[in-house]
Structure 1
Amino acid sequence: MDDLHRDSAAALIAKARATGRIPVVKSFFDEPTFTATHVVHDPATRKAAIIDSVLDFDQPSGRTGHASADAIVDYVRREGLTVEWQIETHAHADHLSAAPYLQAKLGGQIVIGRHIETVQTVFGAIFNEDERFARDGSQFDRLMADGERFMLGEIEGMVLHTPGHTPACMVWIIGDALFTGDTLFMPDYGTARADFPGGDARTLYRSIQRLLSLPGDTRLFLCHDYKAPGRDSFAWETTIAAERTANVHVHEGVDEDQFVAMREARDKTLSMPRLILPSIQVNMRAGHFPEPEANGTRYLKLPLDTL
């Protein structure tokens, strides 16, 4: 995200406040994966977006379920919303996307940042995918570029490329609300890891600094929460000002070298996410499973001694 896009984002947020075009946000928290899914809508037109949905997945049995997604379906129908967007902030490594299921039930384009092509190339090699797996993002309905604008009803939105956690991370701004994906957590928990293939701590720091320069009263909605030590409840909403002043990893006064040293040392202590191997294989396909084999069954691979 360059300075021009950052300034345009700040202007968009200010305009939303000035005109009163403020989205309503309803969040659904999936405790097994510590994931917050956000349903965002324009109260004037009832047009909606679903951000970072969760497909229930029991890894020992390989069975999928839709209880989490069906709670969203029930809410959307009860509120009389029309879904225009099924948004992925990035190709998640900790849960499987329910976007195709929700699209079938509710409609809306499945959309992600165009740098998903980089993720598909990297993980296509890791999983030894053959030529049937396209690496051009064509599994998604739309790919968004840094600084691109879109509308949710009468509310203007904009996407900002924020690499570092993954090459394809995008922050989505809708009115005065910013959806960060994994880039930032609650101030008392910190920031995303940067040790996945294609991740980089220095790049993450620079992405975060551009976000922290946005208006302080901007609402931030996070994709995950793990309850920092001393906190008894899950939380997924904060502000730019709170992150700027109190984020335990990247508050004001923490310079780039300090952050990189902390982030790289911390990442070395972290184990891989429990669902990373099934999640990436599905999410890099826009939430779809691999094609069935000759016996009609779909399979996910388990590469040994790779990650």
Structure 2
Amino acid sequence: MTTLSPSPEVTVFHDKRTGSLQYVVADPAAKTCVIIDPVYDYDEKSGQTWTENADRILGFVAERGYSVAWILDTHPHADHFSAAPYLKEKLGAPMATGAYVTGVQKLWADFYNWPDFPQDGSQWDHLFHAGDTFSVGGLTGYVMHSPGHTLASITYVIGDAAFIHDTIFQPDSGTARADFPGGSAAALWESMQAILALPPETRLFTGHDYMPAGRDVTWQSSIAEQLATNVHLSRYKTREDFIAAREARDATLPMPKLILHALQVNINGGRLPAPEANGRRYLKIPVDLLSRGSGE
């Protein structure tokens, strides 16, 4: 697909705790929007959850008078809980993600020893396949499968804006790690090539920004900027060089501090565990499952 429809209005909400970038993508003329990758707040030290990030989005949508067509996740996140179910409860909008989430569900249901866990993606109202299209008011969106960071990762292209999640970061931060279960540096390379082959006017919006060297948060880049200045893409220009560098780098990285907390929630569509007989909810943490990284 090479023809882009008009530019959507893109509003970003940055969560400093996790470095996550959440988006409201709107057709203002139609008063319609989608929400991408909303964060449900969680503190791993206390086990407390709250809804500050999602409530900011709700306030913005209400202020603008937007109806919400979709609540979208790009993949099951490893560093925050998804607020999609909370927003669906408040807004009535359907939740969707990529159909490839079933592969992640199969992996992690086994890791958590959940043989009866539904692994068919039925936790979402809709599952998108590569090439599927959807509408945001008068804007057209479509879906790309972008594996590598995870098996399930997808990119949403809405008008001239592509939401590239954890595949390519801002140019001074490089590219996503590919060492999570089901990840692949080779698949990540192919996914990045597909994103960078989008029409040159495409605006790229990343899923996280960690503000290296203390700079201000940023979230938008261009294809030309990424090709010329991304610290990985401008240096490792062949598939073989990139894979070698990405795998060497990943071997030194500690796992995200919330990965074992978050995956059990996010493979369940962002739903917290059901309360037990005493009324409390409990997370389940597998021991000695993941590597801690040689550079930790």
Is the TM value for this pair above 0.5?
Answer: yes
**Counterpart-to-counterpart distance in 2, 1:172 and 1:232:** 27
- For 1:280, what is the secondary structure of its paired residue? helix
* Aligned residue in 1 for 2:50: 65
**Counterpart-to-counterpart distance in 2, 1:261 and 1:63:** 40
* Aligned residue in 2 for 1:166: 150
- For 2:82, what is the secondary structure of its paired residue? coil
**How many residue pairs were aligned?**
290
Are the aligned partners of 1:116 and 1:168 in contact in 2 as well (CA < 8 Å)? yes
Deviations for 1:108-167, whole angstroms, at most 9, x for unmatched residues? 111000010000000000011131x20000001100001111111110000000100000
Are the aligned partners of 1:187 and 1:247 in contact in 2 as well (CA < 8 Å)? yes
- For 2:11, what is the secondary structure of its paired residue? strand
The correspondence of residues 183-202 of structure 1 with structure 2, limited to 5 A, is 183-202=167-186
Unaligned runs of 5+ in 2: 291-296
Are the aligned partners of 1:165 and 1:193 in contact in 2 as well (CA < 8 Å)? yes
1:282 aligns with 2:290: no
1:44 positional shift: 1.6
**Counterpart-to-counterpart distance in 2, 1:224 and 1:34:** 5
Alpha carbon RMSD of aligned pairs, Å?
1.2
Matched residue type, 2:137: G
**Counterpart-to-counterpart distance in 1, 2:13 and 2:236:** 34
* Aligned residue in 1 for 2:99: 114
* Aligned residue in 2 for 1:5: none
Percent of residue pairs bearing the same amino acid type: 46
* Aligned residue in 2 for 1:259: 242
* Aligned residue in 2 for 1:240: 223
Q: TM-score, normalised by structure 2?
A: 0.95
- The one of 242, 245, 251 aligned to 1:268: 251
**Counterpart-to-counterpart distance in 2, 1:57 and 1:290:** 14
**Counterpart-to-counterpart distance in 1, 2:91 and 2:60:** 11
**Counterpart-to-counterpart distance in 1, 2:153 and 2:236:** 25
1:292 positional shift: 2.3
Deviations for 1:175-200, whole angstroms, at most 9, x for unmatched residues? 11000110110011100000000000
Deviations for 1:66-120, whole angstroms, at most 9, x for unmatched residues? 1111111110000000011100000000111111111111221110000100000
**Counterpart-to-counterpart distance in 2, 1:46 and 1:270:** 43
- The one of 138, 154, 160 aligned to 1:176: 160
1:232 positional shift: 1.5
1:123 aligns with 2:113: no
Are the aligned partners of 1:244 and 1:252 in contact in 2 as well (CA < 8 Å)? no
Unaligned runs of 5+ in 1: 1-7
1:40 aligns with 2:25: yes
- For 1:217, what is the secondary structure of its paired residue? coil
**Counterpart-to-counterpart distance in 2, 1:166 and 1:179:** 15
Q: TM-score, normalised by structure 1?
A: 0.92
